[in-house]
Amino acid sequence: MSKPLKQIHLAAHFPGVNNTTVWSDPKAGSHIEFSSFAHFARTAERAKFDFLFLAEGLRLREQGGKIYDLDVVGRPDTFTVLAALAAVTEHIGLTGTINSTFNEPYEVARQFASLDHLSGGRSAWNVVTSWDAFTGENFRRGGFLPQQERYSRAKEFLATANELFDSWHGDEIVADQETGTFLRDARAGSFVHTGQHFDIHGRFNVPRSLQGRPVIFQAGDSDEGREFAASNADAIFSRYTTLEAGQSFYRDVKHRLPKYGRSPDQLLILPAATFTLADTDAEAEELAKAVRRRQVSGATALKHLEFVWNRDLSAYDPDGPLPDIDPDVGDNHISKGRAQVRMYRDPLATAREWRELAAAHNWSIRDLVIETGNRQNFIGSAETIARTINEFVQADASDGFILVPHITPTGLDEFADKVVPLLQEQGVFRTDYEGPTLRDHLGLAHPDDRREERAAS
Amino acid sequence: MSSTHPSPLHLAVALDGTGWHPASWREPVARPRDLFTAAYWADLVAEAERGLLDFVTIEDGLGPQSSHFLDPDERTDQVRGRLDAVLIASRVAPLTRHIGLVPTVVSTHTEPFHISKAIATLDYVSTGRAGLRVQITARPDEAAHFGRRTVPRIQAYDSPDAQELVTDLFDEAADFVEAVRRLWDSWEDDAEIRDAATGRFIDRDKLHYIDFEGRHFNVKGPSITPRPPQGQPIVSALAHDSVPYRLVARAADIGYVTPHDADEARAIVARIRAGQDAAGRAGEPLHVFGDLLVLLDDDPAAATARRERLDALAGQPYTSDAPIFTGTPCQLADRLEEFQEAGLTGFRLRPAVAGHDLPAITRGLVPELQRRGAFRRAYEADTLRRLLGLSRPANRYAAATA
């Protein structure tokens, strides 16, 4: 008997500060106005997506000591937008990235529990970490955290938040107007946490929400990041988008679950993916090339090279050959607040490899950045994209995808109208929401059920 | 608007759970089981908007409510627990069109950077109707929820230690507001240029580091969120004494005060105006609102009886920092006009029972004030600042470079 078809999970990321978005496109709208977010969320909900996703930024990036001005800059506050989106949608999950470094557990747990109440059980938290003093300059704590402690604080932060979520069981509020009993338990919300990073106690003041606690997402590719996700998260974001790399990551992470007493279906693996959709595959290929050229201007290409060279390269011609000088391997001083910097751990090797590539293909600086940079993952007609997405999921390269359109806020419209119906016809994607909560969409058990299971076993 | 009234009064309501009386949740209209739903808050704010009120404030706190001012209690006969006020305001913003939304934020344990972008974003999602009410907390139990600092327990309010602590917390609140305000201005209004010719999305010369340095925190800036629609959302604070009056005079657009008669109102307004002069803000508009807790019924005896019934349910007479008004909407209108003549420019009413006294405000008091030509008959502006008669402020950084 053949294996039953896996159900695909789909989500949409409203791109924030980035060079994914082609802001110069005449169809591109505001990245700040609420109407943009409302349009995006309604489209994703019309398409029956599991959730929409917002990233976070806590300091504007800098290049050469100045605020980086070539990409989209500026975004609204994540919690505030998600709460407002709960008013204009009914089903779709609302996922926000919230940093565990420049926040405190009591406040973040309050905000997520509140969001879960106000959305009827649709909230999710992407727990991320930071350590850098650059971002810290905007916060009371400053740049206090040694890099090696970032996961240690994140783990304890999440554990503490879970203690707060669990400090109410869900049956304390009686609100009996006749007898005058509002609370069944005088100590509802009591907690004590003593640890390395947090030493707090008292009473949490938000009752248990519909989902018990928000769904937990995690991103991060290091060994520590994978362990953190395997032990704690409901879903992990990855960036592996070739079939083989995706399968390898998938196997690796799912194999880490049993040692935490968890089964493989308790952690979903959802890579971020871009797409270029057109009437035919050939048209889509042409469009994807045009999009890449618009994403990577000559000036953007030079700035991108500066991430690796760690030098001011403004004197170079982006349509000319790569710099013949070597990267400055000293402390990074050119580019600040940009996660991408960490992608190039050995700049000398990267520079050497890129020079060889450029020489072999006769690429200019701009050609090189376009060819080696972020690729469109799914390019083709609706049929091609639906087939490819399904192949990835059925082959266990992922459990679904978080789609990042290159036009906001309308970049998801065509996908919703053309690709989703094909996936639904194949029986691999829902035609309607089955339950009210994000846990229902993702097929995740309610934490209280798990608690009961553990108690029974 | 009637020409007989030189300056119409402004009216806000303060929303807190099922109402300000601790027994309010036991009234049949109270809906205590809905307190943690969006629908409950949407209904209250919609009612306030039907009454054409300037804005609602939403109470908040970083610990459970308590019948003691400085300590937690373990009572089970009163409402305990609440949702984050900024998120409630955001959740109802798309469902309303005119009314201002002013959540409470606690300056003692939160980050000015986070609060600044949250309120800026509330201003975006409400298209120009956001504000905040800044509040300190001197409660040791709330400090223990954060574990970053200890707040000594105040033994006697008039002791030098207590005065020093409260002064310090209010000075921090003033710093907090200053950092938040600078962050709102850290983007000039036209910083987003989308200049396809040069490939620049923003003009970075129109973004500014705020370089705030205070005793408790430093903030570099700029904000990640562009300047909000109102430029500067409304900043408000409740004040009962010299130290908080100074915060209002230095940093706020609206101060809420609690005089019990017209003479006291006149004296408080004079102190705040003097503080305003001392802070170099003499020419700037600064509203001074009177806070009143209200129980309203068409028959004054019914209001009194209701108060007695609620007090009996609570087991003790309810007392408040604000004067408690018990009577008819018409009598309340008289009182408000009397206070207005003493220099108050508006009022924030605290409904004793939200489900009863809020509709009594919107359907009883408001029509009465309209008959007297003292209150608007339609929303005349689409931002909170303009409703309050405040202009959109120039950007401090743009002014400096111009």
Q: pLDDT per residue over A28-44, tens digit each?
A: 999 999 999 999 999 99
How many contiguous H segments (helices) and E segments (strands) does chain A have?
A: 16, 16
Q: Is the peptide bond before A409 cis (omega within 30 degrees of 0)?
A: yes
Q: Which residues of A touch B121 (CB under 8 A)?
A: 76-77, 80-81
Query: Which residues on neighbouring strands pair with residue B73, listed in sequence order?
Result: none
Q: Hey, which residues 297-326 in chain B have their CB within 8 Å of chain A?
A: 313
> Encoding tokens for residue B15?
């929303």
- CB-CB contact of B236 with B256 (8 Å): yes
User: Residue B28: which residues within 8 A CB-CB, separation 6 or more?
Assistant: A177
> Mutual orientation of helices B160-184 and B112-125 as an angle, nearest 10°?
50
More confident: A141 or B141? B141
Task: Please state the domain count of chain B.
Answer: 1
Taking CB atoms and an 8 Å limit, are A76 and B187 in contact across chains?
no
A94 close contact with B: CB closer than 8 A? no
Q: For residue B158, is pLDDT > 70?
A: yes
Residue A301: CB atoms within 10 Å: 22
HSE on the CB side for B313, CA within 13 Å?
Answer: 22
* Confidence tier at B400 by pLDDT (50, 70, 90): low
For chain B, percent helix, then strand, then coil, each to nearest 5?
A: 40, 15, 45
Amino acid at A425: E
Instruction: Determine the pLDDT at residue B102.
Output: 99
Question: Is B5 contained in some domain?
Answer: no
- CB-CB contact of B12 with B57 (8 Å): yes
Nearest-CA distance B277 → chain A (Å): 31
Residue of A24, A32, A207 lying closest to B36 (CB–CB): A207
Q: What is the mean pLDDT of residues A160-183?
A: 96
Q: Which residues of B touch A184 (CB under 8 A)?
A: 76
DSSP string, A350-364: HHHHHHHHHHHHT--
Nearest-CA distance B202 → chain A (Å): 5
* Distance from C-alpha of A132 to C-alpha of A101, rounded to nearest angstrom: 9
* Distance from C-alpha of B173 to C-alpha of B175, rounded to nearest angstrom: 5
Amino acid at A326: D
- CB-CB contact of B225 with B232 (8 Å): no
Question: Is B206 contained in some domain?
Answer: yes
Range of the domain at B266: 10-401
* Distance from C-alpha of B203 to C-alpha of B194, rounded to nearest angstrom: 9
Q: Which of B204, B233, B207, B232 is nearest to B222 (CA)?
A: B207
**Closest-approach residue (CA) in chain A for B61:** A205
- CB-CB contact of A344 with A307 (8 Å): yes
A331 close contact with B: CB closer than 8 A? no
> Mutual orientation of helices B112-125 and B85-92 as an angle, nearest 10°?
20
Q: pLDDT per residue over A355-375, tens digit each?
A: 999 999 999 999 999 988 766
Q: For residue B137, is pLDDT > 60?
A: yes
Q: What is the mean pLDDT of residues B354-360?
A: 98
Q: What is the mean pLDDT of residues B239-249?
A: 94
> Encoding tokens for residue A332?
């990074």
Q: Which of A205, A296, A302, A314 to mutate to test the interface with B (most CBs of B within 10 A)?
A: A205
Taking CB atoms and an 8 Å limit, are A205 and B63 in contact across chains?
yes
Please give the model's pTM, rounded to 2 decimal places.
Answer: 0.96
Nearest-CA distance B184 → chain A (Å): 12
- Tell me the average pLDDT of chain B: 95
A96-120 burial by CB neighbour count: b if 16+ within 10 A, else e? bbbbbbbbbbbbbbbbbbbbbbbbb
Taking CB atoms and an 8 Å limit, are B75 and A205 in contact across chains?
no
- CB-CB contact of A97 with A78 (8 Å): yes
> Encoding tokens for residue A45?
């909900």
Report the length, in residues, of chain A: 457
* Distance from C-alpha of B58 to C-alpha of A431, rounded to nearest angstrom: 39
Instruction: Determine the pLDDT at residue A238.
Output: 84
Question: Is B2 contained in some domain?
Answer: no
Domains in chain A, please, with CATH?
9-278+381-456 (3.20.20.30), 286-372 (no CATH)
> Number of Cβ pairs closer than 8 Å across A and B?
228
* Distance from C-alpha of B226 to C-alpha of B123, rounded to nearest angstrom: 11
> Encoding tokens for residue A427?
């029986």
Q: What is the mean pLDDT of residues A153-177?
A: 95
Amino acid at B214: G
Question: Is B342 contained in some domain?
Answer: yes
Nearest-CA distance B152 → chain A (Å): 16
Q: Is the peptide bond before A323 cis (omega within 30 degrees of 0)?
A: no
Supply φ then ψ for residue B255, to 5 degrees.
-110, 135
- CB-CB contact of A366 with A296 (8 Å): yes
Amino acid at B209: Y
Which CATH number do you get for residue B63? Answer: 3.20.20.30
Q: For residue A60, is pLDDT > 90?
A: yes
B26 close contact with A: CB closer than 8 A? yes
Amino acid at A4: P
Question: Is B351 contained in some domain?
Answer: yes
Instruction: Determine the pLDDT at residue B399.
Output: 66
Query: DSSP class of residue A257?
Result: S
Q: Hey, which residues 275-294 in chain A have their CB within 8 Å of chain B?
A: none
Of A56-65, A351-360, B137-146, which has the strongest mean pLDDT?
Answer: B137-146
Amino acid at B80: R
- Tell me the average pLDDT of chain A: 91
Q: Which residues of A touch B118 (CB under 8 A)?
A: 77, 79-80
Taking CB atoms and an 8 Å limit, are A106 and B62 in contact across chains?
yes
Q: Tokens 């926040």 appear where?
A: A103
Lowest mean pLDDT among A111-115, A295-299, A416-420, B52-56: A295-299
Lowest mean pLDDT among A116-120, A281-285, A305-309: A305-309
Residue B162: CB atoms within 10 Å: 16
* Distance from C-alpha of B331 to C-alpha of A320, rounded to nearest angstrom: 82
More confident: A204 or A454? A204
Q: Which of B400, B401, B260, B245 is nearest to B319 (CA)?
A: B260
- CB-CB contact of B235 with B250 (8 Å): no
Q: Which residues of A touch B212 (CB under 8 A)?
A: none
Taking CB atoms and an 8 Å limit, are B64 and A205 in contact across chains?
yes
Q: pLDDT per residue over B272-293, tens digit each?
A: 999 999 999 998 999 999 999 9
Instruction: Determine the pLDDT at residue B401.
Output: 53
Residue A285: CB atoms within 10 Å: 15
Sign of the C-alpha dihedral computed for residues A171, A177, A179 and A185 taken in this order:
positive
Q: Which residues of A touch B94 (CB under 8 A)?
A: 34, 38, 84, 87-88
Q: Which residues of A touch B110 (CB under 8 A)?
A: 107
* Distance from C-alpha of A226 to C-alpha of B209, rounded to nearest angstrom: 37
Q: Which residues of B touch A106 (CB under 8 A)?
A: 62, 145-146
Q: Hey, which residues 146-165 in chain B have their CB within 8 Å of chain A?
A: 146-148
Question: Is B152 contained in some domain?
Answer: yes
Distance of CA B250 to the CA centre of its chain: 16
More confident: A54 or A222? A54
ipTM of the complex: 0.97
Question: Is B3 contained in some domain?
Answer: no
Sign of the C-alpha dihedral computed for residues A226, A110, B233 and B378 taken in this order:
positive
Instruction: Determine the pLDDT at residue A124.
Output: 98
Residue of B110, B118, B147 lying closest to A79 (CB–CB): B118
- CB-CB contact of A438 with A123 (8 Å): yes
Nearest-CA distance B68 → chain A (Å): 15
Taking CB atoms and an 8 Å limit, are A83 and B226 in contact across chains?
no
Instruction: Determine the pLDDT at residue B402.
Output: 46
Where are the extended beta strands (E) located within A114-267?
Answer: 123-128, 173-176, 181-183, 190-194, 199-203, 215-219, 235-238
Q: What is the mean pLDDT of residues B223-232?
A: 98
- CB-CB contact of B362 with B36 (8 Å): no
Residue A297: CB atoms within 10 Å: 20
Question: Is B112 contained in some domain?
Answer: yes
Q: What is the mean pLDDT of residues A432-452?
A: 87
Supply φ then ψ for residue A208, to 5 degrees.
-60, 135
B215 close contact with A: CB closer than 8 A? no
Q: Which residues of B touch A68 (CB under 8 A)?
A: 204
Nearest-CA distance B219 → chain A (Å): 4
State the alpha helices, DSSP H only, in B185-259.
Answer: 242-251
Residue B299: CB atoms within 10 Å: 10
Residue A382 host element (H or E): helix A382-394
Residue B264: CB atoms within 10 Å: 16
> Encoding tokens for residue A111?
């905000």
- CB-CB contact of B384 with B129 (8 Å): yes
User: Residue B257: which residues within 8 A CB-CB, separation 6 or more?
Assistant: B238, B239, B240, B245, B265, B268, B269, B272, B288, B289, B290, B291, B344
Residue of A86, A138, A186 lying closest to B113 (CB–CB): A138
Taking CB atoms and an 8 Å limit, are A74 and B187 in contact across chains?
yes
Lowest mean pLDDT among A207-221, A332-346, B159-173: A332-346
Q: pLDDT per residue over A239-257, tens digit each?
A: 877 899 999 999 999 999 9
Residue B81: CB atoms within 10 Å: 23
